[in-house]
């Protein structure tokens, strides 16, 4: 876990890869403290995304994004998949974008 948002959502990053032109890719996971109603629908308990980060501008763009809910037995279920998201990491989705880009771009591998 790399940190939490103001709302207490847990943010994790894994599989960081260094790309050309000062870019990185990573898997980002956000566990919402309370199931979140997002622009994509919901309530979602977790969001996972494969993200490309530009370490010069700080921009984080998901290449694929999955939103999870829980079924009646408590298992995670993919309930929405997106390939484009203008709000990624901004307030409607928990405001975690800056935390993610700083963590990934400051990490040396």
pLDDT digits (tens, 9 = 90+) for 20-63: 999 999 999 999 999 988 888 889 999 999 999 999 998 889 99
Q: Does domain 3-106 have CATH number 3.30.200?
A: no
Mean confidence (pLDDT) of the chain: 89
pLDDT, residue 108, reads 53
- Where on the phi/psi map is residue 15: left (φ > 0), alpha (ψ -120 to 50), or beta? left
Tell me if 1 sits within 8 A of 11, measured CB to CB. yes
- Say if residue 107's pLDDT is above 70: no
């Amino acid at each position: 876990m790399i940190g939490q948002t103001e709302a207490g959502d847990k943010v994790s990053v894994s599989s960081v890869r260094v790309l050309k032109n000062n870019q990185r890719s990573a898997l980002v996971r956000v566990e919402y403290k309370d199931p979140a109603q997002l622009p994509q629908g919901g309530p979602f308990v977790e969001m996972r995304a494969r993200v490309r980060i530009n370490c010069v501008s700080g921009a984080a763009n998901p290449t694929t994004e999955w939103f999870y809910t829980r079924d009646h037995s408590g298992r995670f279920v993919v309930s929405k998949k997106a390939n484009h998201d203008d709000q990624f990491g901004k307030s409607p989705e928990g405001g975690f974008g800056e935390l993610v880009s700083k963590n990934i771009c400051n990490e040396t591998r």
